[in-house]
Chains A and B, each alone.
Chain A
């Protein structure tokens, strides 16, 4: 659908223009992971045990930061109103924007993950699983986080409230994502958690845009 593509193109173009901000989120992500071993004994065994949780914590925190720029610029400049009047159904508008947002954030984390794996001493065979878990989990985070953004749109100082709202929604992704990574690192069966991540992704893709669209309408009233 050309309208959806127009939205994705526009948001990606905007991301390119604002690449400083996107790089900041990436650096924050790397920073969290790099700082952690400095605060403790960087023993390989412990890093491997804690690694998955660390990666996901960094992803969650960066996601909460980057979600702040999801609908706000469009609200401020008035283009969100126009999107409501578009022939494209609002859930699809939401889906397009979240996709563009993921391409500028989640995808970058996935590409950076081999580097992170190196820093944490993750064995080679586990790296594809780490990337797969991130690939399945980060879109879910974006889709579900968009609901929170839409509910708090237009509120001043909404950052903290947003974190409070979406944290319970992130917990399942964290559990299964870290579970898959841990299982792969220790050589156990990892397909179960990966499938759960996939199931949650499917559920999010179908339901989250609907909830986000409803929340946008409520916030714009």
Chain B
């Protein structure tokens, strides 16, 4: 589904990756591992199309994502380091508008937030939620997602054990339905059947 060929990624005048290849197939879970600062987030941004690599290309179903960004964006669900939640709006308001802006359906938002464990707190401004609760709110997008590809940057950050279990369950279910997940994390997540790509 997703292939990266010969990526050369720089940040400033530092070369982070040279000649990097990657492929993600349906049903696969790919875990990006590496020490802090090695460039996992930068690589993820390049794979999402938010940044451009110096050389090489990223292809979605064989087509360079630069030539057809629309169809790639429709198939991709990206959750980055930050939660994309404005602190002055509630979780419901944030996710409602986010889903609407991204062209996804908005009906399932409240149910998804309930499922994420935010039942009593979804109408409070996000500044009143803890870091873990905000992460859960951000991840609740995964529940109603129809996107074939998920790209998650450190999804388990700030989550407690129950939260991690919930996330792992979602990732496994997604894989069983034929979707693919690419994620970065420092500890293993949904280890069974997961392919690890180590960045140095």
Please give the residue numbers on chain A whose beta carbons come within 8 Å of chain B beta carbons, in ascending order. 2-3, 6-7, 9-10, 13-14, 17-18, 73-74, 76-79, 81-88, 93, 220-221
Contacts and interface: CB of A to CB of B under 8 A. Distances in A.
B62 interface: no
Main secondary structure of the interface of B (DSSP, over half): loop
Given A7-B101, A87-B102, A14 B86 contact: yes
Contact of A83 (B51, B88, B101): B101
8 contacts: A2-B100, A3-B102, A14-B86, A18-B88, A73-B86, A77-B82, A78-B81, A82-B84
B103 A88 contact: yes
B103 to A, nearest CB: 5
Determine the interface band of chain B, counting residues with CB < 8 A from chain A: 20 to 34
Given A17-B88, A85-B49, A3 B101 contact: yes
B89 A3 contact: no
B74 interface: yes
Contacts, number: 79
A86 B83 contact: no
A182 B125 CA distance: 47
A81 B84 CA distance: 8
Nearest to B93: A13
A221 B51 contact: yes
B97 A78 contact: no
B73 interface: yes
Given A6-B96, A81-B80, A220-B51, 4 more contacts: A6-B100, A10-B93, A77-B86, A221-B52
